[in-house]
Structure 1
Amino acid sequence: MARTAAALHILVKHKEQAEDIIKQLKKGVKFDVLAKKHSSCPSGKKGGSLGEFKKGQMVPPFDKACFTGEILTPQLVKTKFGWHVIKVLYRT
């Protein structure tokens, strides 16, 4: 089982906006460009990069998505902070 992961994310308030971001990603818009433009998380300034983190370090729904979801495929996750578009880069 993976113990660490690295991910990019974009945090927004509304599901519709998160879904629109996923559509833009599928059309080829770069993740870091959208993160800088839309993310309300401080990581947005770094293109959405969260770096590497340990299992259990993030809030449970986010953690589950990062450690069980597909790698390199943007996914939508709801947490107490809002809606996240997550792209897991790798797991170790």
Structure 2
Amino acid sequence: MASTAAALHILVKHKNQAEDLMKELKQGAKFQTLAKKHSLCPSGKKGGDLGEFRRGQMVPQFDKACFSGEVLTPQLVKTKFGWHIVKVLYRT
């Protein structure tokens, strides 16, 4: 079982905005570009890069997505902070 993961994310307040960004990604938009433009998280300035983190370090819903979701496929996750589009880069 993986104990660390690395991910990019975009944080927005509303589900419809997150869904619109997911559509843009599917149409070929660059994840980092959308993160810089739309993300409410300070990581947005770095293209949404959260770096590497340990299992249990993030809020539970986010953690679950990072450690059980698909790698390199953006997914929607709702947490107390809002809606995240999460793209897991790798797990170790």
- Residue in 2 aligned with 1:29? 29
Amino acid at match of 2:58: M
RMSD: 0.3
Q: In percent, how many aligned pairs have the same letter?
A: 80
- Residue in 1 aligned with 2:81? 81
- Which segments of 5 or more consecutive residues in structure 1 lack a partner in the other structure? none
Matched, 1:3 2:35: no
**Any residues of structure 2 matched to 1:1-80 within 5 Å, and which?**
1-80=1-80
3-state SS of paired residue (1:63): helix
Post-superposition offset of 1:4? 0.2
Runs of 4+ residues over 6 Å off in structure 1 = none
Post-superposition offset of 1:71? 0.3
Amino acid at match of 2:65: A
- Which segments of 5 or more consecutive residues in structure 2 lack a partner in the other structure? none
Post-superposition offset of 1:2? 0.4
In 1, Cα distance between equivalents of 2:47 and 2:54: 20
In 2, Cα distance between equivalents of 1:86 and 1:7: 7
How big is each residue's C-alpha offset from its partner over 1:45-85, in whole Å with a ceiling of 9 and x where there is no partner?
Answer: 00000000000000000000000000000000000000000
3-state SS of paired residue (2:52): strand
Q: TM-score, normalised by structure 2?
A: 0.99
Amino acid at match of 2:59: V
In 2, Cα distance between equivalents of 1:23 and 1:73: 13
